[in-house]
Structure formats: C-alpha cells, structure tokens
Amino acid sequence: MMPVVPVTHTPTRKDEVKRLVSLTWTLALTDWKLRFYGSVLGLAWTLVRPFALFGVVYVVFTQIAGLDENVPNYGIYILFALVLFNFFSEMTGTAVQALVSRESLLRKMQFNPVVIPLSVSVTALLNLGMTLIAVFIFAISTGVQPTWSWLELPVIVALLFLFGTGIGMLLSVLYVRFRDVEPIWDVITQILFYGSAVLYVAVSTVPASFRQGFLCNPLAALFTQMRHAVVDPGAPTITQAFNRPQYALIPLGIILGTFALGVWFFLRESPRVAENL
Amino acid sequence: MTALVQSPADARAARLDTAPPAVVVDHVFKTFRLPHVQYSTLKERLLHPLRSTTYDELKALKDVDLTIRQGEFFGIVGRNGSGKSTLLKCLAGIYRPEFGTVAVNGRLSPFIELGVGFNPDLTARDNVVINGVMMGLTRKQAIRSFDEVIAFAELEEFVDLKLKNYSSGMTVRLGFATAIQMNADVLLVDEVLAVGDAAFQQKCFEEFNRLKAAGKTVIFVTHDMHQTERYCDRAMLIERGDVLTIGEPHAVARAYNELNFGRLVTDGAETGRYGDQRACEITDAWFEDAEGARIGEIAQYERLTMCARIRFHLVVEDPVVGFSVRNDVGHTVFITTTEWAQATTGRCEIGQELIARITVDAVMSPTKYDLTPSVARQGGADVLDVREDLASVYVHGTRVTGGLIDLPHTFTLEHGP
C-alpha cells in the first residue's frame, strides 16, 4: 500500500504578501499593456499625447491668455499640475468601476480583492512615470534649472498615490451598491479640477482671505509644494504658504486619514463583494 | 487468499478510509438575501428609506457536513439550483459561509461555472499568467507553466488571440488546462465535460485517472450519472441546499434519477423503478436460449437472448427500448438501446404489446447477471419505465478468470532465434 503523504502546504503571511504584490503588479502591467493593444504607435502614445497637450497648454497660457508675468515658468507649472491631477483623476475614476468590471475574476477565483484598486493605482503610476519623462524633457528645454529639490517629487507623488488609492477603495466598494457613485464622482472631479489650483497658482491668485482654507485641500497643498520643489525654487513651500507652518499638517492628515478610511472600509466590505456583484 | 481476491476498488476504499482529510466542511449554512426591489441608486434609497427592508431569504446551503479524504474522487450531483455551485464557491473561499467552517488542506485549484475568471480582452498568454499568479505561483513559474497549459489545451495556434474571439469550447479547454496544470492538491471541477468535444473529453478522463493515481483530490460536479459511477469513489446528492445522500456512487446516481424521473414513484412503489408508467409499462423481462425457451442459466459462449415485454396505455411514437446488464458486483457490462442500434420501434398503439429481443454471444465471465430493461420517449431523455434487475441469468463456465468478459481469442507464439 502506498503511504499517503500528508500535505503540508499552508501559506504563511509572507507568502500571502508576496502573492498580493505579485498579483497587483501582474494585473497593473497587463492593464497598462492593454491600453496600447492594436494601436500603431503603441507605447509611443504615452509620450506623444502629453507632448501634444503641453504644446496647446503652453501656447494658450503663455502667448494667448497672457498669464501673470511675475510667476516664473508659469506654463511649466501648469503642465506639472495637469499631469499630477490627471494621475489623481485616473486613479479614482478607473477605480469606481474596477470591482464590477472584474466580476468574472472575483466570482471564480479566491484572492484578496484589495489587489484590484491597488492595481488600478499602479497602472496610473506607470502612466504618470511615462508622462513625467516627457514633462521633464519639456521643462528642461524651456529653461527650468534642475535642482536637488526635484527629489521631493517622489514624496509628493507618493502622497498623491495614497490619497487617490484611499478614495479609489471607497468608491469601488460603494459603486457595487450604488451605481450613481460614478456620475457623482465625475462632478466632484470637475469641481476639484477648478478648485485645486491646476490652471492658476494658489499663493498669488487665491485671495488671502480664504487662502488658508483653500490650501487645506490636499491637491492644492501638494501642487503648491510641487511648484517650489520642481518649477521655481523661489516660490513658497507649503509650510510658508500657510500662516502657521503647523497648519500644513491639516492636508497631510486628510491624505493619511482618507487612505486609512479607504483601507478600513474596503477590508470591511470586500469579503462579501463577490456575492453582491 | 482473501488478500488476492480483494479488488482494486476495495483496496482503494480501504486506503481512503485511513487517508488524512483534504477538505472538511463543518455544518455550513449559506443564505442569500434577495431584496424584493433592487435599489441600486442613492436617489431611490433616499426616496424610499424604509421600503428596502423587505427581502426573501434563499437558503442555498443548509447544514452541509462533509469530509473528503486525500486522494478521493468525490462527485457532487444535484439538479439545477440545488446549491452545487454555491458549495463549490464556499470550498474555493469565494463565498463566506454564514455559519460553519470550511477547511482545505493544501492548495486548491478551482474551475467554476466553466471558467477560471478569464478577461476576454486579454490574450490566452496573459490570462494564463494572471491565473497562475492568482493560484500562488510566482510570475516566472506562471510564465514557465504556460507552454504546458497550451499544449494540454491544444491551442498552440491561438496563443496570441484575444479570448473574446475564442469559441466557448476553446475557452473551456484553456480554463480546464489552466486549472489542471497548477498542480494543486485539491481540484474543483464544475461540469467541464459538458462543453468539450469528444477528443477533449477523452483527454480529461485520462487526466482524471492520472490525478487519481497521483493521489490528488478531485471534487467533481456533474449531471452525468455514468461519469459519476465510473470515476467517483463517493458522491453526494444535494437538493435545495440539503444533503440527501453521501455515499457509494451507484446509490447516489440512483437517488438522483429518482429525484429527476421518479416523482410519481415515491409513494409505496417498488424501489429500482423509475418513470411515470402512464404511457406504458414493462410487464416482464426474461432470458431465452437458442431454442427460445426461458432460462435461468446458460453455458458460456452459447447464444443468449434478452427479452422485455412492454404494454402501451397511450400512443407512443417510436419509443426507445434499452437493455443494461450488470454483474454480481454491480458493474455494468453491457448497454444498448434501439436508438444506438438505429432500430425503429414504430408507432405503438393503446393496448398494444411490444416484445423487444436482442441476441448476443454469452462471452461474459461466469457469474450472475441482472437485466434492467427501460423504455423512454423518442430522444431518450423522458423516461417512461425502468425496472432495475428485473430478470437474472447465471452464466456458467469452466474457469473464473477475473476479467469482466472472456473474449474468444487465439494465442500466437513465436520463439526468437
């Protein structure tokens, strides 16, 4: 008689985390590749599209609209802000339907659903990376001087990533129950676009009377810091933009709080997501 | 001596009794809430804040208690909507049971509702890699396993085709190949054989045998009772969330047929009889020898005739008459129907009797054989009357070889130089 060998495979926590990371990366990468499937230029579109957009923005805002002469590299600021805002809106906008559109996977395979909103954010991050290459080429060619403070950009992107992922997790779970999350979020994204100092500079354009409240918006705060770090070292940092430096903890708190809330809510709701889809 | 005559099936059963459990389902309940009106927008919810509280409860699983041993081939049968897929999803960890626990010893590979969650916009290559990673392989392992998956599915020409352009059979093949190549300890298979073509079905059977030999646990959902009897060590019948029987596949298959066809046989009728018998009934069955005399025993290799008499109470157009012969240990050794033999039974009038006969050479090995005659409507699905083991015959011969049948044969022997 053949002895039956007992099965000893029980995944450890480390294995689970490895699987989570590996799965997130695989899903993000295939989604990213899928975007270029069947197009002639393929990957080149990630560069061509931003370049075309920048050309328009640059011409309109520096030659036609006649922006504030006192703001150095105004066009470049708008480009960076636009790119970062697109990153945010792509993360959140795609996350809304992410769970529902992955229905077949959720109903047939056992895995932690958290990889779905995470992979959406990672795909957006890959796009941002490609676009930033174009933006930096453009920035240097128009006379922006590289400085050490450019290294602050990864921190800004990381905070934006946390903020967007937290919101994405909230939205994706809510959308399973309430389908009108999608149009509502569309409207909010529009409001945020005009309310987050993408096309203007917060510290000089926004009236001082409500500038403090305005900067509590995490997007406006991050863009303000980005302007100092990347576009114009002479511009105020976020701590200088607030009346008191410690006020800068408010947008930071909102970012971390949103992320924590998103993760908590997602983990609470996600075990039942497969049957509610 | 006793050890020698123990059949492989018995040895296997004995081994399974002592094997460690692969899957333990402990008093599992699962209920779905079905709201009477689905409120899926905020506006509706705000307008009717109180109304959304009414819902029906669908008890998909009621107190399912089950232990499946390592190396066991376990069948789950049940009618549509009986809770099979819900149970499978609970086993796979996709649904959480309301009460009770599910414990799986080892890695589990699910193949549920004819699929493993493929994305139609991706190519076969990408889908297989994603699935491998989901199953716990690393990306490298998943990419390496890809060639084997494609070879098993025989889809080499379609590797870079998007799945939405695959036929349903091709998708199922790819899904099944993916599930099987993950080399999991427990394989969940949901009705895979329903879609593939004959060649692929054959391949699946071979793969099942290989898995069985390798000591893997297979949990298999099907509507095909022949497959259940042929492959499963044990089976379970589930109906409206209740486990009706767990046990020997033949008994479960019989219970399943009773559930499907025997709705009118339930009160007081004899066991082993199915069909509603309103249109016709089998009144008699017997064996005859070459002279046409009724017999209870016959010498091996003689001409043997099997007969059944059917009386019609309603007009039946071209009914299908079938014979099935089982040996003393319950193995079916021979089945035929008029449909397979392309024999036309014609129109049968009210009050008419039909006697069906088939003649064979009695090549079966010496033992007792039981004859089960059956009548069904044209097409064979609508059973009119089945009477299990209605007649029996002893085949006697000079020697018991251990084979099911003793084919006439000649030896050719050649000595080498």
Nearest by CB: A274 against B15, B70, B95: B95
Mutate to test the interface with B, among A2, A5, A7 (most CBs of B within 10 A): A7
pLDDT at B109: 86
pLDDT at residue B267 in the model: 40
Q: For every one of its 417 residues, what pLDDT tens digit does chain B have, with 9 covering 90 and above? A: 344 445 555 666 666 777 788 899 988 998 887 766 666 677 776 776 655 556 778 888 988 999 998 888 899 998 888 888 889 889 888 888 888 888 888 888 888 876 777 888 888 888 888 888 888 788 888 888 888 889 888 888 888 888 889 888 888 888 888 888 888 888 888 876 666 677 887 888 788 888 888 888 999 888 877 778 878 889 999 988 889 889 888 888 878 877 776 544 444 445 677 777 888 889 999 999 988 889 888 888 889 999 999 999 988 888 989 999 988 877 888 888 888 888 888 888 888 999 999 999 999 988 889 999 999 888 777 788 888 888 889 888 877 787 888 888 899 999 988
DSSP output for B195-251: TS-HHHHHHHHHHHHHHHHTT-EEEEE-S-HHHHHHH-SEEEEEETTEEEEEE-HHH
Residues of B in contact with A18 (CB under 8 A): 138
> Residue A179 is nearest to which of B40, B107, B185, comparing CB atoms?
B40
CA B150, B152, B155, B161 dihedral sign is negative
Contacts with B124 (C-beta within 8 Å, 6 or more apart), sequence order: B150, B155, B158, B159, B160, B161, B163, B166, B174
Amino acid B143: pLDDT: 87
For B53, the token pair is: 């509280």
pLDDT of residue A66: 66
| CB half-sphere exposure, A73, CA atoms < 13 A | 25
Q: Is B306 helix (H, G, I), strand (E, B) or coil?
A: strand
Beta bridge pairs of residue B45: none
Query: Minimum mean pLDDT among A188-197, A217-226, B53-62: which range?
Result: B53-62
Q: What distance in Å separates the CA atoms of residue A224 and residue A167, rounded to the nearest whole number?
A: 21
Q: Pick B20-35+55-259's CATH classification: 1.10.10.410, 3.40.50.300, 3.40.190.10, 3.30.70.2190.
A: 3.40.50.300
Return all residues near B394 (Cβ < 8 A) that are at least 6 apart. Answer: B296, B297, B298, B366, B367, B368, B369
On chain B, the residues whose CB falls within 8 A of the CB of A111 are: 134
Mean pLDDT across chain A: 86
Which residue type does A167 have?
I
Which of B93, B71, B91 has its CA nearest to residue B83? B91
Q: How far is A111 from chain B (nearest CA, A)?
A: 7
Given this model, what pLDDT does residue B153 score?
Answer: 87
Contact check, Cβ <8 Å, B113/A30: no
B105–A contact, CB cutoff 8 A: yes
Which amino acid is present at B353? E
CA distances from A20 to A28, B89, B138, B145, B244 (A): 12, 21, 11, 20, 39
Q: Determine contact: B32 vs chain A, CB below 8 A.
A: yes
Report which of B248, B247, B250 is spatially closest to residue B370, judged by C-alpha positions. Answer: B250
User: What is the distance in angstroms between the Cα of A40 and the nearest Cα belonging to chain B?
Assistant: 17
pLDDT tens digits, residue range A127-172? 899 888 888 888 888 888 888 889 999 999 999 999 999 999 999 9
**DSSP of B136-202, one letter per residue?**
T--HHHHHHHHHHHHHHHT-GGGTTSBGGGS-HHHHHHHHHHHHHHT--SEEEEESGGGTS-HHHHH
Q: What is the DSSP string of B9-65?
A: HHHHHHHHHHSPEEEEEEEEEEEEEEESS---SHHHHHH-TTGGG-EEEEEEEEEEE
Q: Are B41 and A180 within 8 A, CB to CB?
A: yes
Region(s) of chain B under CATH 3.40.50.300: 20-35+55-259
CA dist., res. A51 & res. A61, Å (int) = 15
Q: What is the pLDDT of residues A69-104, one digit of tens each?
A: 677 888 888 889 989 999 999 999 999 999 998 888
Give A127's contacts (C-beta < 8 A, 6+ positions apart): A32, A46, A87, A90
Q: Which of A9, A110, A178 sits opposite B106 (nearest CB)?
A: A9
Look up residue B28 and give its two tokens.
């599992």
CB contact under 8 A, A180 and B118: no
Q: What is the CATH number of domain B265-396?
A: 2.70.50.60
Instruction: Determine the Cα–Cα distance for residues B51 and A5; give it in Å rounded to an integer.
Output: 56
Chain B residues in contact with A25 by the CB 8 A cut-off are 139
Q: Which residues of A11-48 are buried (b: 16+ CB within 10 A; e: fewer)?
A: eeeeeeeebeebbbbbbbbbbbbbeeeeeeeeeeebee
- Look at residue A31 and tell me whether its pLDDT is greater than 90: no
**Interface contact flag, B126 A30, Cβ < 8 Å:** yes
Q: Do the beta carbons of residue B265 and residue B273 sit within 8 Å? A: yes
Most confident segment among A3-17, A93-107, A247-261:
A247-261
Whether chain A has a CB inside 8 Å of the CB on B96: the answer is: yes
Is residue B22 within 8 A of residue B104, CB to CB? The reply is yes
Tokens of B318: 């071209």
Q: Which residues, 6 or more positions from B257, have their beta carbon under 8 angstroms from its beta carbon?
A: B225, B274, B383, B386
ipTM beyond cut 0.85: no
Q: Which residues of A touch B42 (CB under 8 A)?
A: 178, 180, 184
Of residues B172, B120, B175, B181, the one with CA closest to residue B147: B181
- The answer to whether B90 and B102 are in contact (CB under 8 A) is yes
* CATH 2.70.50.60 domain locations along chain B: 265-396
Whole-angstrom distance between the N-terminal and C-terminal Cα of chain B?
Answer: 39
Chain length of chain A: 277
Identify the residue whose tokens are 């969330």. B241
Q: Give start and end residues of each alpha helix (H) in chain A.
A: 13-34, 45-58, 74-101, 103-108, 115-141, 153-177, 181-195, 202-205, 208-215, 218-226, 238-241, 249-269, 273-276
Q: A170: closest CA among A128, A219, A121?
A: A121
Contact A110 B131 (CB under 8 A): no
Q: Is B48 on the interface with A (CB under 8 A)?
A: no
Nearest residue to A238 (alpha-carbon basis) of A217, A209, A260, A257: A217
Q: What pLDDT sits at residue A4?
A: 36
pLDDT, residue A218, reads 94
What is the chain A residue with the closest CA to B136? A19
pLDDT at A35: 78
Structure token pair of residue B131: 């699935």
Give the whole-angstrom CA distance, residue B318 versus residue A180: 58
**How far is residue A135's CA from residue A159's CA, in Å, rounded to a whole number?**
20
Contact yes or no for A180 and B20 at CB 8 A = no
The pLDDT value recorded for residue B276 is: 75
- Please name the member of A18, A110, A272 whose beta carbon is closest to the beta carbon of B93: A110
Query: Which of A2, A4, A16 to mutate to probe the B interface, most B CBs <10 Å?
Result: A4
Which residues are CB-neighbours of B209 under 8 A, at least 6 positions away? none
For A47, the token pair is 């560069």
